[in-house]
Amino acid sequence: MTSTRGATLEFRDVSKRYGGQLAVDQLSFKVPAGRICILVGPSGSGKTTSLKMVNRLIEPTAGSILIDGRDVLREEPTALRRRIGYVIQQVGLFPHQTIAENVGTVPRLLGWPKARIAARTEQLLALVGLEPSRFAGRYPAQLSGGERQRVGVARALAAEPPVMLMDEPFGAVDPIVRDRLQNEFLRIQRDQGTTVLFVTHDIDEAIKLGDRVAVMRGGKLVQYAPPGELLAHPVNAFVAEFVGSDRGLKRLALLTVGGMDLDTNVARAAVSPNAPILSPASTLREALIRMLASEAQVGVVLDGQRYLGLLTLSKIGKMIRSDA
């Protein structure tokens, strides 16, 4: 599969005023090409307004939004939108069209030849895990919520957009399906290399999916950082409270055993046989839980058959303290 190259996305002093009310207040940040930026914050923080200004469903009052350095305000809105994928929480599939027709919407608008649209549709359905021969001819009402959401993602990706906007796309599905959709989304995003701007109010989703997380409050950007940084160094009490008092634990889920300073002074033979075996790829959170559950309170780190050392509770504690 040819992977699309994402574009850079930049907000430059973007404001949106409704009457006397500032919904978005001088928002500035850059998303590198091919990265996922999550806009997160409580309701009314201006995150959805910010997202919709990128494809000009809402027009900014001031400032500029640049995609690969080009100001979106200088472009014709319909042409602009055809180059930007768009997924909303309610999905908004066209109920009177088949799944294949839905996915082919933007390519049809762009005047692709029929054969190319058919080939692309099939490829995309396979990409999002829907067997084309089973799903292409069905109607949205015949699909489950999770399946519809996948079609929404496939439809947004149809014309290989360099930028994709997602407004709480997994908000309406149950937690188990959401988790699976998130994992698939990450796989697809890495595969396609699309730059993604993603709105959620769920901090856990933001931490799981984001390369960068923009925390917003009252239309202002409060902190813009990678998830690990956000958890380790919240800039103020609002962010600290928003990411949760368990931010230390959340952070452990982002770190791997392989990145830790291990205790190499103890020979493997000297370690209790109850100690769990950990791989460098497992997260610190998982390692901690298994260590606490075993009586040994330490973990043996093996890379395949090779013994790398011991992970101890005090090493994990030291890591948390050093950053907090």
Instruction: State the residues that interact with other proteins by CB under 8 A.
Output: 55, 57, 77-82, 86, 88, 90-98, 105-106, 109, 139-142, 155-156, 165
> Shortest gap between Cβ of 47 and other proteins (angstroms)?
16
Give the C-alpha separation, 240 to 231, whole Å.
Answer: 8
How far, rounded to the nearest angstrom, does the alpha carbon of residue 227 sit from its chain's CA centroid? Answer: 11
Q: Which C-beta is closer to other proteins: that of 165 or that of 215?
A: 165
> Shortest gap between Cβ of 6 and other proteins (angstroms)?
19
DSSP annotation string for 184-214 = HHHHHHHHHT-EEEEEES-HHHHHHH-SEEE
Q: Which C-beta is closer to other proteins: that of 151 or that of 254?
A: 151
> Shortest gap between Cβ of 32 and other proteins (angstroms)?
24
Q: Which C-beta is closer to other proteins: that of 65 or that of 230?
A: 65
> Shortest gap between Cβ of 112 and other proteins (angstroms)?
13
Q: Which C-beta is closer to other proteins: that of 87 or that of 215?
A: 87
Q: Which C-beta is closer to other proteins: that of 54 or that of 288?
A: 54
Give the C-alpha separation, 279 to 287, whole Å.
Answer: 9
Backbone dihedral angles phi then psi of residue 305, each to the nearest 5 degrees: -100, -10
Backbone dihedral angles phi then psi of residue 48, each to the nearest 5 degrees: -70, -40
> Shortest gap between Cβ of 78 and other proteins (angstroms)?
5
Give the C-alpha separation, 265 to 307, whole Å.
Answer: 12
Q: From its phi and psi, is residue 111 left (phi > 0), alpha (psi between -120 and 50) or beta?
A: left
